[in-house]
Amino acid sequence: MNLFEWPVRVYYEDTDSGGVVYHSNYLRFMERARTEWLRALGFEQDALLMEHDCLFAVHSMQLNFRRPARFNDALTVKSELLAAGGASLQFEQLIYRKDELLCQATVRIACLDAQRFRPKPIPSFILTEMQRGW
Q: When comparing pLDDT for 129 and 20, which is higher?
A: 20
Distances from the Cα of 94 to the Cαs of 8, 12, 60, 120, in angstroms?
12, 21, 16, 28
Active-site residue identified among 14, 16, 53, 113:
16
pLDDT of 9 over the 80 cut: yes
Please indicate whether residue 16 is annotated as part of the active site.
yes
CATH number of the domain to which 43 belongs: 3.10.129.10
β-bridge pairing 118-119 and 54-65: unpaired
Name the pTM for this structure. 0.93
Count Cβ atoms below 10 Å from residue 92 Cβ, excluding itself.
14
Report the C-alpha gap between 111 and 123 in whole angstroms: 9
Task: Report how many domains make up the chain.
Answer: 1
What average pLDDT score do residues 85-99 get? Answer: 96
pLDDT of 103 over the 70 cut: yes
Name the residue range of residue 125's domain.
Answer: 3-131
